Amino acid sequence: MSEKKTNRRDFLFTATYAVGAVGVGATIWPMIDTMNPDASVKALASTEVDVSTVDPGKTITVLWRGKPVFIRRRTQDEIAEAKSVKMEELKHPEKDEDRAKNPEWLVMLGVCTHLGCVPLDQKGDYNGWFCPCHGSHYDISGRIRKGPAPTNMEIPEYKFVNSNTIKIG
Active-site annotation, residues? 134
Per-residue string for binding with other proteins, 21-60, x by CB under 8 A? Answer: -----------x--xxxx--x-------------------
How long, in residues, is the chain? 169
Q: Which is nearer to other proteins, 19 or 43 (CB)?
A: 43
> Could you say whether residue 117 binds other proteins (CB under 8 A)?
yes
60, with CB counted inside 10 A (0-12, 13-18, 19+), is middle
114 binds other proteins (CB under 8 A): yes
Q: How far is the CB of 121 from other proteins (least distance, A)?
A: 12
From residue 83, alpha-carbon distances to 68, 78, 80, 96, 139 in Å are: 25, 9, 5, 6, 11
Asked if residue 123 binds other proteins (CB under 8 A), the reply is: no
Dist CA 21 CA 15 (whole Å): 10
Question: With contact defined as beta carbons under 8 Å apart, do 60 and 92 qualify?
Answer: no
Site string for other proteins, 53-92 (x = CB under 8 A): --------x-x-xxxx------------------------
By CB under 8 A, the residues from 129 to 158 that bind other proteins are 131-135, 148-150
| Closer of 19 and 39 to other proteins (Cβ) | 39
Pseudo-torsion of CA 70, 84, 81, 151, nearest 10°?
30
**Closer to other proteins at the Cβ: 24 or 32?**
32
Instruction: Give dist(CA 6, CA 78) in Å, integer.
Output: 77
* Residues near other proteins, by CB under 8 A: 32, 35-38, 41, 61, 63, 65-68, 114-118, 131-135, 148-150
